[in-house]
């Protein structure tokens, strides 16, 4: 954040808002409530690049990993994740069946994430179907992912961080934990303290 201090107050306020826009979606991952999140990041201006650099530093200091999944002319989609938690998600027996149906490897986690990257590139550049197995990486319940695919995203019970088809009460608890993580990170941000988790 010290890098941002050289800007005037109006510009600093804008840069701080940009930083917060990157930070809050990752709060549940930082707080160990979620294995991973995806984040679309614009890289068009010098300010966006500089803010993203500060953000990456913070992510790496908190022992998270960040990997680009797909880049377009306007933005890059990143996966930010806790390695151990994500490994557990992708190795779940039912999740593994879904991933196997799309030729995901059984090797290292980075190879598995690389396959997700290929699937997203095929969606963006080759007009292939959207890779809904992304939900496995984002920690969505496998039943909700399968029902979403089956029902084409329609007729869900509730929606929040994902569309819920099964066990709405449990999903509400998870959504609440994500909201609390965001609030905690926001309060840290307002106090401008250093993250130590």
User: 122-141: string of b/e by CB count within 10 Å (b at 16+)?
Assistant: eeeeeeeeebbbbbbbbbbb
Q: Would the pLDDT of 83 be above 90?
A: yes
Q: Is residue 167 part of a domain?
A: yes
Q: Is residue 87 part of a domain?
A: yes
For residues 179 and 165, give the distance between their C-alpha atoms in angstroms, rounded to a whole number.
Answer: 20
> What is the phi/psi pair of residue 38, to 5°?
-105, 150
Q: Is residue 19 part of a domain?
A: yes
The mean per-residue pLDDT over the stretch 132-146 comes to 97
Give the tens place of pLDDT for each residue, 32-80: 999 999 999 988 888 888 899 989 998 998 899 999 999 998 899 999 9
Domain count for the chain: 1
For the chain, the C-alpha Rg in angstroms (whole number) is 18
What is this structure's pTM? 0.89
Q: Is residue 14 part of a domain?
A: yes
Q: Is residue 62 part of a domain?
A: yes
Q: Is residue 196 part of a domain?
A: no
Domain range for 54 is 2-191
Q: Is residue 168 part of a domain?
A: yes
Residue 88: pLDDT band with limits 50, 70, 90: very high
């Amino acid at each position: 954040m010290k890098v941002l201090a050289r800007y005037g107050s109006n510009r600093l306020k804008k840069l701080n808002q940009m930083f917060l826009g990157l930070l809050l979606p990752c709060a549940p991952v930082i707080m160990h409530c979620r294995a991973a999140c995806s984040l679309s990041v614009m890289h068009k201006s010098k300010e966006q690049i500089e803010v993203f650099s500060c953000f990456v530093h913070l992510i790496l200091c908190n022992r998270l990993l960040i990997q680009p999944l797909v880049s377009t002319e306007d933005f890059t989609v990143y996966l930010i994740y806790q390695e151990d938690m994500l490994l557990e998600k992708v190795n779940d027996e039912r999740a593994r069946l879904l991933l196997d149906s799309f030729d995901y490897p059984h090797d290292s986690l980075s190879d598995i994430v690389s396959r997700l990257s290929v699937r997203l590139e095929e969606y963006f550049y080759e007009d292939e179907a959207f890779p809904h197995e992304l939900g496995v990486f984002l920690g969505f319940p496998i039943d909700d992912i399968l029902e979403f695919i089956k029902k084409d995203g329609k007729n869900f019970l509730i929606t929040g961080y994902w569309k819920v088809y099964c066990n709405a009460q449990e999903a509400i608890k998870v959504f609440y934990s994500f909201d609390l993580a965001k609030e905690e990170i926001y309060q840290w941000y307002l106090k401008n303290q250093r993250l130590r988790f």
